[in-house]
Each structure stands twice: as structure tokens, then as C-alpha cells.
Amino acid sequence: MVEVVHYSVMKNEVVSFLKPDKPGQILVDATTGEGGHSEWFLRRYPDINVVCLDADEAIMEIAKKRLECFGSQVRFYNKWFNAFFRDYPSDLERPDRILFDLGISTFHYEKAERGFSFRKDEDLDMRLEKHLEISAADIVNNYPQKELADIIYEYGEERYSRRIAEAVVRYRKNSRIRTTGEFAEIIWNAVPVSYRHGRIHPSTRTFQALRIAVNGELARLKEALEGALSVLNVGGRMGVISFHSLEDRIVKHFFRDMAKDCICPPETPICNCRGVKIVELITKKPVVPEAEEINDNLPSRSSKLRVIEKVNEL
């Protein structure tokens, strides 16, 4: 029995929008994690083929065990999604469905022991892929104060970013920051007392910012969306589940740009781009979880699903 700790959000909604319309179609699960969404599709559509991607080798091993009963219907690639779509395998047919679930897996908070959670005292690492050169500890201990504050503000949307960065620099003059416990305590002492007991823990946004910076998540997402759309078959669909405003903004703007007939600058008096829309927006507004799902899995409350259908080649 495979131990699974992550809850895959909006499974019914995802299947509703991305269900295959022909036998033998290919779904790329670009963020497989423990394999929850992939299993959901495979059990409902016995002739679907699923390509599973994940940058984290440890979590992919869990997915492999979970999905081994589906045999040759599933192929695994231990790669970042932007790299996979940039160098799409020549022996693999183009996909008809692509899914991105951008949420960090519960596995990483509970089992990975890489410092993703401020609720556990672990090494301050946060690398989703072990071969990345820079860890969260490297950023916290070595980056200049202004650069550190900018990361916390831009990627975490943390209003006390400068106070936190100042406290970090002051602390590290005497001691290297090695664990999540140390770092969370620095943040706790840096923010106002009233902020410590708000809706979310005062470390939440800063930890998010560091994870995004360490793994280059936003830059990878921009590249991956374009690469995925380029390999998707015409008539195929792509869905993206995001969990915070930075991701959702990137997805929303990319989808809207690809849905435009004209891409000329607004000041151009006559269209000369000869543009054609690449996608249709299947979801005009993001789909959000039902109240019942939020009650069962509180972290799902921030999730948003956007879906497009490809109508022309890039």
C-alpha cells in the first residue's frame, strides 16, 4: 500500500474540463506529485495514456508505485516542466490534454525534510530538485539586505519585507541561519505584535517567497506555458491550477494574450500583425472549489483553475 499524504484539488472539475474526447489520447500531467490527478484520469478513462512529469525524484517514486498497476499506459520523466516542453521527446506523440497543478505538495511539507514548512525545525533548503545550486540557506545568509527584501516582497507580497530582511542581516552577523526554526523565529520577532496573530502565520509569505526564488518557479512557469501550448495538438486543452496571485496573474495574462486576434500595440491605427487567435478561453473566469471541498481540505480554498482550448498553431 502506497502512503499518500497529498490531497489533489478540484479533481472532478479537472476531469470535467480535460476529459478525453477520443480513445488513446495523451494527457501530460506536468506536475505529477504523488499522482493523484493522474490516477483519477486513469481510473475513469481506461484507454487514456498519461505522461507524468516531476522535478522531484523522491515524490516521483511514490507516484510510480501508486500508478504501476496501469503499466505501459503511464510514462515518467524526472524533469522540470519547462525543460520537458522545451525539448519535447521525439518518440512521444503530441498531447491532447495538459494539466499543471502548481501547488506545493503536502509531501514536501510533511515528508521531504527539506525545510518547506516553518512548523518543523529542519535544514533550510527548499530545493524541489536536489541538484539546484542555491538553497534557501544560501539566499538568507549571503544575499544583500535590499535584494533579500525585494525577493520577500515581490515573491511573497510581504508588506514587512524590509523589516524582515533587516532582522535577518542583523542576526547573521553573529550566527549563520541554518534551520527553519531559527528563520521563523527571526521573522516572528521582526514583525509587529499585531501581525503575529493574523489570518496566516507571519512566516507564510516569506517562506513562499524563498521557495519560489530557490526553484525559479515563476520564470519556469512562463517558459513552460509557452512550450506546452506549442506542443499541444490543435483541438487539445490545457488546464492550470494556481494557488497564489503571482502564478494566477501569469496564467491569466498568457491565456488572454493567446486568445487575442490582434497583438498590435494599442496605438497602432490599423492592424498589421495579421494575427490569429491561438486559443479559446474555456473558462472566462477561474473555477474555484465547491464549499464541500474547502471544508474537507482547507488549503484548497486559494486554488483557481483556468482552461483553454487550442484552435491554431503558434
Long-range contacts of 68-75 (CB under 8 A, 24+ apart): 70/42, 73/42, 73/48, 73/49, 74/38, 74/42, 74/49, 74/50, 75/49, 75/50, 75/51
CA 48 – CA 74 distance, rounded (Å):
9
Percentage, residues of the chain above pLDDT 90? 81
Length, in residues, of the chain: 314
CA distance 87 to 79: 11
For the domain spanning 11-108+221-310, the CATH number is: 3.40.50.150
> What was the pLDDT predicted at 130?
86
Q: Which residues contact 191 (CB under 8 A, 6 or more apart)?
A: 160, 163, 164, 202
- Residue 6 clears pLDDT 70, i.e. is over it: no
CB 102 within 8 A of CB 30: no
Q: Hey, how many other C-beta atoms are within 10 angstroms of the C-beta on 71?
A: 7
State the alpha helices, DSSP H only, in 202-266: 204-215, 217-231, 245-258
DSSP state of 80: -
Taking Cα atoms as reference points, which of 47, 55, 12 lies closest to residue 30? 55
pLDDT at 118 over 60: yes
Note the pLDDT tens digit of each residue in 119-177: 889 999 999 998 899 999 999 999 999 999 999 999 999 999 999 999 999 999 999 99
* 79-88 pLDDT tens trace: 999 999 999 9
Instruction: Check if the beta carbon of residue 165 is closer than 8 Å to that of residue 149.
Output: yes
Given this model, what pLDDT does residue 310 score?
98
User: What whole-number distance in Å separates Cα of residue 88 and Cα of residue 180?
Assistant: 37
Three cell numbers, residue 166: 533587516
CATH architecture of residue range(s) 113-215 = Orthogonal Bundle (1.10)
Confidence of residue 189 (pLDDT cuts 50, 70, 90): very high
Q: Tell me how far apart the alpha carbons of residues 301 and 314 are, in angstroms, rounded to a whole number.
A: 34
- Give the chain's mean pLDDT: 93
Q: Tell me the C-alpha distance between 257 and 261, whole Å.
A: 9
pLDDT in tens, 20-77: 999 999 999 999 999 999 999 999 999 999 999 999 999 999 999 999 999 999 999 9
Q: What angle do CA 15, 18, 24 make, to 5 degrees?
A: 100
Q: Tell me the per-residue pLDDT of 271-311, one tens digit each, with 9 for 90 and over.
A: 766 678 999 999 999 999 999 988 988 888 889 999 999 99
In this prediction the pTM is 0.92
Give me the residue spans of the domains in the chain.
Answer: 11-108+221-310, 113-215
Q: Residue 286: which residues within 8 A CB-CB, separation 6 or more?
A: 248, 252, 304, 305, 306
Cα–chain center distance at 310: 21
Split at pLDDT 50, 70, 90, the class of 265 is confident
pLDDT in tens, 162-186: 999 999 999 999 999 999 999 999 9
pLDDT digits (tens, 9 = 90+) for 190-222: 999 999 988 889 999 999 999 999 999 999 999
Cell of 233: 495538438
* pLDDT higher than 80, residue 264: no
